[in-house]
C-alpha cells in the first residue's frame, strides 16, 4: 500500500521542526556566534532557502528556538504548580524548579547568555514578560484568593517578582559556582517573597 503523500502544511511543519531541532542543539554548543547558517541547514537536512523561507534569517531561527525553550519551561512550571494544592507552597516550589532550570547548560547558553546579545535587552525582557509574567500572576492570584497575600496591586507585584527572578537567573548563569549561586538566590528570593505572604514562611 503506497504511503500517503504529505500535504504542503505537513511538509512545512516538518521542515521547521528539523531546523529548530538542529539549531537548538548547535546554539547550545558551540553557541550562536560560532555556528554558521550553512552548518544548521546541513544538520537539519534542508536547503538554506528553507531557512530563509520559514524564519527569515539565522536570528529569526534563534528566536524560534528560544520561544520553544520558554514554552517548555513555562509548561514545566505550570505543571509543578498544579501538582501542589497549597498556592504558596506551589509558588515557592515552582521558583526553586525555575532556578534549577537555570542550571541547564542549554538554558544558560541560549536563553541567559546569547539571547541578550543576539536579540537585545528589550526583546529579551519582552520574552521574559510574555512567558513568565502570566505564570507569576497566576501564582499570586492563587495566594490572594485564600486571603494570604498582603494588600497590593497584583500586576505590579508580579512584574517586580519577575524582575527579581530574571536577575537571579542571570546571576546563576554567570556565577563561578552556579550551584552555590542557585542556593543563595533561592534563599534570597524566598526571603523577599515571604514579605508578600500574610502567613510568612
Say how many CA atoms lie within 13 Å of 102 toward its Cβ: 28
Query: Would you say residue 178 lies in a domain?
Result: yes
Written as tens digits, the pLDDT of the chain (201 aa) is 455 666 788 889 999 999 999 999 999 999 999 999 999 999 999 999 999 999 999 999 999 999 999 999 999 999 988 888 898 889 899 999 999 999 999 999 999 999 999 999 999 989 989 999 999 999 999 999 989 999 999 999 999 999 999 999 999 999 999 999 999 999 999 999 999 988 654
Per-residue pLDDT of 112-143, as tens digits, reads 999 999 999 999 989 989 999 999 999 999 99
Q: What is the pLDDT of residue 165?
A: 95
For residue 201 the three cell numbers come to: 514562611
- With b for 16 or more beta-carbon neighbours within 10 A and e for fewer, the 107-137 pattern comes to bbbbbbbbbeebbeeeebeebbbebbeebbb
Query: Would you say residue 3 lies in a domain?
Result: no
Q: What is the pLDDT of residue 201?
A: 46
How many CB atoms are closer than 10 A to CB 18? 17
For residue 41 the three cell numbers come to: 541547514
Q: What is the pLDDT of residue 200?
A: 53
3-state class (DSSP) for residue 179: helix
The domain total for the chain is: 1
For residue 12 the three cell numbers come to: 512545512
* DSSP E strand stretches across 51-184: none
Query: Would you say residue 201 lies in a domain?
Result: no
Looking at residue 21, which CATH number applies to its domain?
Answer: 1.10.357.10
Q: Which one-letter DSSP state was computed for residue 2?
A: P
Query: Would you say residue 42 lies in a domain?
Result: yes
Query: Would you say residue 200 lies in a domain?
Result: no
Q: Say how far apart CA 43 and CA 26 lie, in whole Å.
A: 9
Query: Would you say residue 26 lies in a domain?
Result: yes
Query: Would you say residue 2 lies in a domain?
Result: no
Chain centroid, CA 167 distance in Å: 14
Q: Range of 141's domain? A: 8-194
Q: What is the pLDDT of residue 85?
A: 87
Query: Would you say residue 199 lies in a domain?
Result: no
Q: Which one-letter DSSP state was computed for residue 7?
A: P
Amino acid at each position: 500500500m503506497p504511503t500517503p503523500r504529505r500535504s504542503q502544511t505537513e511538509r512545512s511543519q516538518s521542515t521547521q521542526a528539523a531546523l529548530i531541532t538542529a539549531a537548538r542543539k548547535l546554539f547550545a554548543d558551540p553557541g550562536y556566534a560560532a555556528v554558521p547558517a550553512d552548518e544548521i541547514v546541513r544538520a537539519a537536512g534542508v536547503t538554506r532557502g528553507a531557512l530563509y523561507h520559514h524564519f527569515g534569517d539565522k536570528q529569526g531561527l534563534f528566536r524560534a528556538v528560544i520561544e520553544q525553550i520558554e514554552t517548555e519551561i513555562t509548561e514545566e512550571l505550570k505543571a509543578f504548580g498544579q501538582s501542589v494544592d497549597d498556592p504558596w507552597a506551589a509558588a515557592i516550589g515552582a521558583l526553586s524548579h525555575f532556578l534549577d532550570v537555570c542550571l541547564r547548560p542549554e538554558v544558560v547558553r541560549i536563553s541567559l547568555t546569547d539571547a541578550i546579545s543576539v536579540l537585545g535587552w528589550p526583546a529579551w525582557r519582552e520574552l521574559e514578560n510574555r512567558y513568565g509574567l502570566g505564570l507569576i500572576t497566576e501564582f499570586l492570584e492563587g495566594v490572594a484568593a485564600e486571603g494570604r497575600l498582603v494588600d497590593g496591586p497584583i500586576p505590579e507585584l508580579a512584574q517586580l517578582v519577575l524582575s527579581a527572578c530574571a536577575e537571579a537567573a542571570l546571576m546563576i548563569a554567570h556565577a563561578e559556582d552556579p550551584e552555590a549561586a542557585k542556593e543563595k538566590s533561592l534563599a534570597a528570593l524566598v526571603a523577599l517573597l515571604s514579605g508578600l505572604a500574610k502567613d510568612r514562611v
